[in-house]
Amino acid sequence: MSAGSSRQIQALEEEITAAMEETQVRLHHREGSAASGWVLLDFSDVVVHIFGPTEREFYGLERLWSRAPQVVRVL
């Protein structure tokens, strides 16, 4: 997902982590920081990437996964 600022990245990270904890899903691994413009949250079965606009363009995950079948799309 994308966020427009480091504050938004941090807010999304906190909300996602709290919601997953409420459903008894434990955070397995975390990388990056809001200040760096990218955070990865690994919940084992679900991996969440939160990007700032520049980092989203740089990493281009949509290009890397363009041929993979889409299972779920959340807007």
Region 5-12: mean pLDDT is: 96
Tell me the CATH number of domain 6-64, given options 3.30.460.10, 1.20.210.10, 3.30.70.1290, 3.30.479.30: 3.30.460.10
Q: How far apart are CA 24 and CA 34, in angstroms?
A: 24
Residues 41 and 30 sit within 8 Å (Cβ to Cβ): yes
Residues 45 and 53 sit within 8 Å (Cβ to Cβ): no
H/E run at residue 58: helix 53-59
Instruction: Give the pTM.
Output: 0.81
Per-residue pLDDT band for 15 (boundaries 50, 70, 90) equals very high
Which residue in the block uniquely carries the two structure tokens 């008894």? 24
Q: How far apart are CA 24 and CA 8, in angstroms?
A: 24
Give the model confidence (pLDDT) of 18-72 as tens digits.
999 999 999 999 999 999 999 999 999 889 999 999 999 898 888 888 888 877 7
Give the pLDDT confidence score for residue 60 in this predicted structure.
87
